[in-house]
Amino acid sequence: MTTRVQKWGNSLAIRIPKDIADQLAIHQGSELEFIVGSHGITLKPKKQKPTLDDLLAKVTPENRHAEIDFGKEGNELI
């Protein structure tokens, strides 16, 4: 598949065809990584950092580790 470079203000732009955007879950406002290499340009969706809720949703009774007792650290009474 090919596309053309177009002028957009003082910059240049390319269009991402809808079927490719849908396949990669790219929409208006998506952040992309722009990688320049010896073989050309690579664009890929920027990986989003997971939220605490995303990480906690993956915790299950099967993958949860047991509590660890480190003993007393200071002058604790209990």
Report pLDDT digits (tens) over 4-30: 999 999 999 999 999 999 998 899 999
Whether 78 maps to a domain, the answer reads: no
Q: Does some domain include residue 66?
A: no
47: domain range?
5-57
Q: Does a structural domain hold residue 62?
A: no
21 falls within a domain: yes
Strand partners, 41: 36
Residue 63 lies in a domain: no
Global pTM value: 0.51
26 within some domain: yes
Number of independent structural domains in the chain: 1
Query: pLDDT band at 69, cuts 50/70/90?
Result: confident
CATH of the domain at 15: 2.10.260.10
pLDDT tens per residue, range 45-58: 888 888 999 999 99
Q: Identify whether 67 is part of a domain.
A: no
